[in-house]
Structure 1
């Protein structure tokens, strides 16, 4: 309910960054639900597409990267290890370098967010 209200407020404000953040919140809500990975990825991918017309900025890069990480987690929950790893390296990592260590819309997205899943994989997580 809170994610939906945030989405409505962002739409009313006509603020694409806040709207992306509302989708990021909703994506995380879906990831926490049994079988919600597919819908979470759809929500995040849709939000990334909506950001395409927004002028480039560090704020946009951070929101896109945070949304890409929702898709990475959704892929991992669906045991699509290769897709998760590919998205992490090809989409999220370049955005993390662009955004730097930031806390745009409370996503705390940056290079550390890319480093943590890679550490998990190297420590024995991921494909088995």
Structure 2
């Protein structure tokens, strides 16, 4: 069976954006894979990578460099509703924009929807019992 190893985000500033996720969620940088165009964070179950725009050329994706619109949604699960409520102001103080305040969904999750400092969408979730 396959498993998700990394989610990579193209970023204008890989240092600042990886630092944002480190500060908000406490992820640790995987220093062994650091390069001038990449930063990686250990999330505990998979990894989160940040690619500089130079990687578009490296991966032969230069035709897609200026694609517009929301293309993915990062989800970060936490252990409690209180953790969602705690992390939202931490994320906003670190530069996130709150799109939708914490709420209970019809599928029984408690979540908030935010934009990181580069405008990428992410959610902070707790799955309710």
TM-score, normalising length: structure 2: 0.29
From the two aligned structures, give the one with the greater helix fraction: 1
TM-score, normalising length: structure 1: 0.29
